[in-house]
Amino acid sequence: MSIPDQTFTKVSYFKISAAQEGQRIDNFLLKTYKTVPKSKIYKIIRKGEVRVNKGRIKPEYKLKIEDTVRLPPIAVSNKDNTPVFIPKDVLDTMEKSIVFENDHFFVLNKPYGLAVHSGTGLSYGVVDVLKRLRPNQMVELVHRLDRDTSGCLMFAKSRKALVMLQNMLKQSQINKTYIAMVVGQWPAKQKVLDFPLKKYLMQNGEKRVRVEKGGQMALTKVLKVQANKKFSLLTLRLITGRTHQIRVHCQSVGHSIINDDKYGNREDDKQLKKYGFNRMMLHAKTLNIESNELCEAVEISAPVPEVFNKKL
C-alpha cells in the first residue's frame, strides 16, 4: 500500500515497505506530513491515535517491513496544501541531470545556483523539485552541496540505502573529487590542506566557517594543479567533509575560489571578470564508490561546465 496523501480526512491504513524500514515513527510522519504541525504529530502518537499493527507505539518506535500503520483523520488548512510553483524549465533540467541510477540510489549533476533545500527567500530547492518529479518514490538526500556549487549530488531510494551510503562516506569508502578555479598562481608544493575548521556566527546572524585552533580536523588533498599568474585550476579530494571545507582551505592559503561571495575577495574577482568567470568556480566532479551491497565499484562523473575550460 502506498504512502497516503496529505489530506487525511478519514482513517487511513498503509503498510511499511523497505523504503521506510528503520525510520522512527515520529520522523516518518514529520517527513510525510509536512503540512501538519509538529505538536499535532506528537499529540496523536501520545493519545494512541496512531497505531502500528493495532497497538499503541511511542515516538521512538522504529518501523519494520510489513508493519501496518493506522492514521486518524487530521484537519489541514487549504493554504498549507497549496503546491509551490516550480517552473517547467527547472523540472525539465532536473529530469535530464541524472548521471547515474540503480534500484537503490541515484546521482544528479546539481545545477549551479540552485539550493538543495528551500529556505529563507527560496520557495523550492533540489529536494522539492525531485519530489515533484518522483511523487511515489522515496527521495532522501545523502550529502549536501552548497547552493553555488554544481556537480555530483547523491540521493537514496530507501532508508537502508541512505544509512549505508552515509556510513560509507564516513568510512571513506566513497571519495569525492572536486575541481576549483582559484585566484592567483597556486604553489605547486602545496599538496595538503589540513587546517582545523570551526563554525561561527557573524553579527548579522549569518553562519560562517574559519580556520581556528581547536576546531574540527579537516583534510583536503590537492591532486593536480594547472596554473598561470592570474588563476589556477585545481583538482582536489575531500578526505573529511566539513561545511565549506574547500572554500575556507583555499582562502586560508591566500588563493580564494573565484566568485566565492562568502570567502572570496571582490577586487580579485572584479579583475578576473574579463576571463568569463560568471559563477562560483567550484564543481563536484566525481564520486568514486567502492563495491558494496548497493552497487559494484563505480566512478560517477558530472560533466565539467564549459566555464572551467580556460587555457592555462
Q: Which residues are designated catalytic?
A: 146
Reported in sequence order, the residue ranges of 103-218 that DSSP labels E, i.e. its strands, are: 105-110, 140-141, 150-156, 174-183, 192-193, 197-201, 207-211
Q: Cα separation of 35 and 24, whole Å?
A: 19
Q: Cα separation of 211 and 165, whole Å?
A: 28
> Which of helix, strand or coil describes residue 162?
helix
Largest alpha-carbon pair distance within the chain?
A: 71
Type of residue found at 210: R
Q: Cα separation of 154 and 294, whole Å?
A: 13
State phi, psi for 251 to the nearest 5 degrees.
-60, -40
- H or E element that contains 301: strand 298-301
User: What is the sign of the dihedral through the CA atoms of 52, 55, 60 and 62?
Assistant: negative
CB 183 within 8 A of CB 258: yes
Q: Cα separation of 26 and 138, whole Å?
A: 17
Q: Cα separation of 111 and 95, whole Å?
A: 12
Instruction: Please name which of 81, 133, 142 lies closest in space to residue 106, comparing C-alpha atoms.
Output: 142
Cβ neighbours for 253, distance < 8 A, ≥ 6 positions apart: 190, 193
Q: Cα separation of 27 and 41, whole Å?
A: 10
